[in-house]
Amino acid sequence: MKRFISYVQKSNDKLNLLDIGCGNGWFSANVAKQTPLNVYALDINKTELEQAARVFELNNLNFIYGNIFENILDESVFDIITLNSSIQYFDNLNTLIKRLFFFLKDKGEIHIIDSPVYNRNELAGAKERTARYYISLGFPEMAKHYHHHTFDELDGFNYNIIYKPKSFPGKIKKFLRVNDSPFPWIKIVK
């Protein structure tokens, strides 16, 4: 979040940002508090949105209930769209990105933040870990709602990796007190 806020603070323009899958609104609210952006936070979970609207009342923050694949927003309205911890809830990343381009202005940006994106050779292990996780919680059926995406799915899009996590073995990471995101930050330009 701090990296992203620092990134958008470099612009003096009053930009429109759409945060897809905002959940309880913590990320959207922090961006709205610390930047001049107009922030629109969208989710399909009405309970979390109602809570977010009660907790975060800011002039430049609006919460929207709806499905991004329905016609709830106008074309070419947003300068930036964020997917913060949310791509894993969409089954087809390619379809999602193409849909989001509809809402972006020319040269608009999509930012994938705090979401796992795998190399093809890591996919089977990741799916297995997810299945074990949901089994341990007693909800094995939830694994089918969690989708694993690879960098291969970004082929054909104009993207770059703004942040690539460093890989440290566990003991070295603890010794160095490395407490950073284990996920990449990916920017896609329309």
Reply yes or no on whether the pLDDT at 168 is more than 70. Answer: no
Residue 62: enclosing H or E segment and its boundaries?
strand 61-65
| Rounded-to-integer distance, Cα 180 and Cα 153, Å | 25
CATH number at 93 reads 3.40.50.150
Question: Bridge partners of 44?
Answer: none
Domain count across the chain: 1
Q: Looking at residue 166, what is its pLDDT? A: 74
Residue whose structure tokens are 């309970």? 47
Domain extent at residue 9: 2-115+156-189
Residue 128, domain member (yes or no): no
In a domain, 146, yes or no: no
144, part of any domain: no
Amino acid 37: pLDDT: 95
- Quote the pLDDT of residue 90: 96
Is residue 175 one of the residues assigned to a domain? yes
Domain membership of residue 145 (yes or no) is: no
Q: Are 41 and 25 in contact (CB under 8 A)?
A: yes
The lowest-confidence range among 99-103, 130-134, 156-160, 179-183 is: 179-183
Residue 149 in any domain: the answer is: no
pLDDT digits (tens, 9 = 90+) for 88-140: 999 999 999 999 999 999 999 999 999 999 999 999 999 999 999 999 999 99
Does residue 133 lie within any of the structural domains?
A: no
Overall pTM surpassing 0.85 (yes/no)? yes
Q: How far is CA 136 from CA 123, 124, 130, in A?
A: 20, 18, 10
Q: What confidence score (pLDDT) does residue 92 get?
A: 96
The encoded tokens of residue 178 equal: 């490395």
Residue 85 near residue 72 (C-beta atoms within 8 A): no
Q: Is residue 122 part of a domain?
A: no
